Amino acid sequence: MTEDQEAELEEQADDAEEEAEDAEDAEGLQHGDFVELEYTAYTVEDDQLVDTTDPEVAEDEGVDTQGQEFKPRTIVLGEGHIFEDVEEAITGSEAGDSGTVTIDAADAFGEYDPDDVQTVSAEKIDEDDRYPGANVQIDGQQGYISTIIGGRARVDFNHPLAGEDVEYEYEIVDVVEDREAQAAGLFEMYLGFEPELWIETDEVEEEVPVEPDADEDEEAGEDAEPEFETEVVEKESLYLEATPQMTMNQQWMMGKQQIGQQIIDQIDVDRIVVQEVIEGMGMGGLGGMMGGMGGGDIEAALEDADVDADEIVDELEGAEE
C-alpha cells in the first residue's frame, strides 16, 4: 500500500469517526425515528388540496367520502415517506413542534414536460375510458386523457400536479416508541388500514450448517455436500391476522414481500407470520351438524323427520334391480 493510499484510508476513518460523534451529539428527532405527524398540503398557485390528515379539511374539500380515514400518520424519518424538504425541517425538532415548508415543483411532483403529452390511437384505450380526464395506462405508462377526437386521443403522462409548488403545513404529534404501534402505523401507510398485530418471541427449529473438522474436510474434497443439523433458535415474530380486508388488499397482494421486508428491517424483527383464522359454525350450523353425526345420530334425525329408513332402503334396492 502506498503512502497516499494509507493517508486516504486514515482520512476516511477520521471522517467516519466525526460522523459517529455528530450523530451521538445530535439533539431532537433524527433519521430512523418514528414520528406521528399531522399535516395538510396545498398547491401554492391554485390552492388545490394535495394531501391531509385533518378530517375537517377533508370534509371541506369533499374528499371524505373516499373511504379513507383521516388521522395523524406514522412515518420514519429518512425513509422517503414524506417530501425530503419536510424531513429536513423536522430533523432536530421535538414532539409538539410545527412549521410550514414550501416545496419547489421539481422536488414535489416534477416540472411539467410538454414532451410527455402524446397522441395515441383510441384503440389502445378501453372503450369505458375514452373520455377526457380518464386515467389510462399506455405501453406501461400511467397518464390521463386531455382530449379525444375521433380515433385519436391526447394522453398526458405528466403527474397531474407536475409544475406545481406545494405548501406543506405540519405538526409533530408524538414520537412513536412502541414497536407494535410502529408496525401498525407502517402497515396503515402501506395498505391504508391497521391490521390486528402483535409481537412474540418463538422457539423455532432451523437447519444450520455443520462446520466439519479440518481433517474430514480434506478427505471429503471440494465436491463434498455440506452437512446440516437441526437447532432450536429464538425468533422474534410479528404476527398478523389474515382478515379478508388484508388478504384482498391490492397493495398487499402485489407487494407483500417488499412491504414485509421493509417492516422487518424498520421494526427489527426476525420474521412476519400471517395467520388465517377459520371460525367454526358450531352445532347450530349445517357443517357442525353433519360433521358430528354418527350412525345413531342419522337414525335419530330420520325418526324426528318421520322418515322410515327401512322403506328408503327397500326403494333403493328396487331401483337397482
The model's confidence at residue 317, banded by pLDDT at 50, 70 and 90, is low
Pseudo-torsion of CA 55, 61, 67, 72, nearest 10°? -30
Domain boundaries, the chain: 23-108+164-175, 114-156, 179-275, 289-320
Looking at 21-30, 112-121, 215-224, 238-247, which range is the least confident one?
215-224
pTM score above 0.75: no
The model's confidence at residue 1, banded by pLDDT at 50, 70 and 90, is low
User: Mean of the pLDDT values across residues 117-125?
Assistant: 90
Q: What amino acid is encoded at 154 in this protein?
A: R
Residue 154 CB-density burial (10 A; 0-12 exposed, 13-18 middle, 19+ buried) = middle
Q: Please say if the pLDDT value at position 263 is more than 60.
A: yes
pLDDT digits (tens, 9 = 90+) for 162-216: 999 999 999 999 999 999 999 999 999 999 888 899 999 988 888 878 877 655 5
Topology match between the domains 23-108+164-175 and 114-156: no
| Domain 114-156, architecture per CATH | Beta Barrel (2.40)
Closest CA to 228 of 207, 205, 204: 207
CATH topology of domain 23-108+164-175: Chitinase A; domain 3 (3.10.50)
Strand blocks (E) in the chain: 34-43, 49-52, 73-76, 98-103, 117-121, 135-138, 141-149, 152-156, 166-175, 197-209, 228-241, 271-275
